[in-house]
Amino acid sequence: MNNLTLQALAIEPMDARSLVDIGIIARDEGFRDRALAIFDSVIADGRCRQMALYEKAILFLHEGNHKTAIASILKAVEAEPNDARANLLAAKLLFSIGDFERGKNCIDALDPANMPTEIHAEMRVITQLGDFLRSFPRDYVLNKCYQYELSNRWLDVNQVAETATAALREERGYSLIRCGDGEGAFLRISNTDETKFSHLYEFNRQNRAQVWFDGTIDIQSSGFSNAAFTLKDAILNADVVGLPYTGWLEHEYRILSPTGISSLANLLRLPLNSVPNFCTQQIHLELHSTKQIYNLMRSVHTIGLISCHSQLPEMLKSKFGFLDVDYHYIPGEKGHRHLIPESSIIGEHWPDGYERVMASLRRPLAGKLYIVAAGILGKLYCNQIKMSGGVAIDMGSIADGWVGSPTRPGLVSLQLG
């Protein structure tokens, strides 16, 4: 905890609201016991009790202790039956333990006509999250994940590298595509599924698009959503698909993320019988740490690159001695503008950048290796590269690490090569 926080804790007497704020800071910075003591002191005092009960419930929620979180938040609901924030959190928590009736009652206790538009929208999303959890419980989804990981089609990093090496040697089309919550958000399982979870899925898609575009486009009127919906075809046409791993799924169920739960679950619900092989979604990190991606790059004389980092082509030439780098610039994720250079987000990825890159990839590529780091649209590039006879490797945020931009939690500067 920083010095300002410690100084604030030493001030007596302290306004109850400010004390809760200090507890939130302590909780978020990892001082769990101190945060809990602060929340309990405010609850006992009575001033800002409602707020402290809510934040105490959030503390237990983040730990995955849902039953204890429920005990705290239901006290807040009992004290203030019309508290929308408390009722919605209580509903999520009750849904998580399978108590769907009481969870629905928490939502039904709120009158949409007396709620702000954003709260009304959240009520619809949480209601459908409950429906989703009822239809696809945590254990069902985790078992689907285990089945893939234990199948004979699951490859380790060395086996993945071998499949790519064979494609390069034989000069045939190949794509390795990694799928996470962004990709899962834009999967369409069926028309019935879309109707049943329409509010939840729209929330997910807007949530992910905010990271990619930061509100600069309307994903529906611009045509982006319709293009993104073709992702399913790219996945089914891939040679290797990277799927979410069990630890990631467990985390999303622990924190009860509507987007994380439903988007990752939908990746595992997708019929993937036509896909030859699978691997972990973290395969890009493993390709880096084992240096297999660098072995692949050292096996060729020219390379293709799709990335927002314009300094990478020269870095690759210098490190690997490439005669040529077929570089396609695409603007980076505008929601990460604080983490990457301004030069890496100039322009619009959709639709102009996308159309330009796709047009350039619709030509014979004769087994040429391409490193792709372009978000959800990058998966569509990978598919086009394969159809044109090239070998596409979806490296994602590893390219950010190569240039020292920490765009993902835990990502640090990575040594190229």
For residue range 221-238, what is the model confidence (pLDDT) as tens digits?
Answer: 999 999 999 999 999 999
Domains and CATH numbers, the chain: 3-135 (1.25.40.10), 140-402 (no CATH)
Closest CA to 55 of 78, 26, 82, 84: 26
Model confidence at 93: pLDDT above 70: yes
More confident residue, 280 or 339: 280
Q: How far apart are CA 128 and CA 197, in angstroms?
A: 6
Residue 116, token pair as written in the block = 């702000």
* Dihedral over alpha carbons 294, 295, 301, 306 (to 10 degrees): -40
| Mean pLDDT, range 349-373, rounded to an integer | 96
Model confidence at 338: pLDDT above 90: no
| 29-33, 92-96, 309-313, 339-343: the lowest-pLDDT one | 339-343
More confident residue, 329 or 114: 329
| Mean pLDDT, range 166-188, rounded to an integer | 97
Percent of the chain with pLDDT over 70: 93
pLDDT confidence band for 4 (50 / 70 / 90): very low
The pLDDT score that the predictor gives to residue 212 is 86
> How many angstroms from the chain centroid is the CA of residue 253?
13
The pLDDT score that the predictor gives to residue 400 is 87
The pLDDT score that the predictor gives to residue 403 is 87
| Mean pLDDT, range 132-138, rounded to an integer | 97
Give the tens place of pLDDT for each residue, 24-75: 999 999 999 999 999 999 999 988 999 999 999 999 999 999 999 999 999 9
Model confidence at 130: pLDDT above 50: yes
Closest CA to 155 of 277, 283, 295: 277
Q: How far apart are CA 281 and CA 115, in angstroms?
A: 40
Q: How far apart are CA 63 and CA 69, in angstroms?
A: 9
Largest CA distance in the chain: 75
pLDDT confidence band for 246 (50 / 70 / 90): very high
The pLDDT score that the predictor gives to residue 339 is 63
CB distance 394 to 176 below 8 Å = yes
What is the 3-class SS of the chain, one letter each residue?
CCHHHHHHHHCCCCCHHHHHHHHHHHHHCCCHHHHHHHHHHHHHHCCCHHHHHHHHHHHHHHCCCHHHHHHHHHHHHHHCCCCHHHHHHHHHHHHHCCCHHHHHHHHHCCCHHHCCHHHHHHHHHHHHHHHHHHHCCHHHHHHHHHHHHCCCCECCHHHHHHHHHHHHHHCCCEEEEECCHHHHHCCCCCHHHHHHCHHHHHHHHHHHHHHHHCCCCCCCCCCHHHHHCCHHHHHHCCCEEEECCHHHHHHHHHHCCHHHHHHHHHHHHCCCCCCCEEEECCHHHHHHHCCHHHHHHHCCCEEEEEECCCCHHHHHHHHHCCCEEEEEECCCCHHHCCCCCHHHCCCCHHHHHHHHHHHHHCCCCCCCEEEECCHHHHHHHHHHHHHCCCEEEECCCHHHHHCCCCCCCCCCCCCCC
| 17-26, 366-375, 408-417: the lowest-pLDDT one | 408-417
The pLDDT score that the predictor gives to residue 1 is 46
The pLDDT score that the predictor gives to residue 237 is 97
Model confidence at 6: pLDDT above 50: no
| Mean pLDDT, range 88-98, rounded to an integer | 97
Closest CA to 397 of 381, 374, 370: 374
Give the tens place of pLDDT for each residue, 154-170: 999 999 999 999 999 99
- Taking the CA atoms of the chain, what radius of gyration do you get in angstroms? 24
Q: How far apart are CA 245 and CA 280, in angstroms?
A: 6
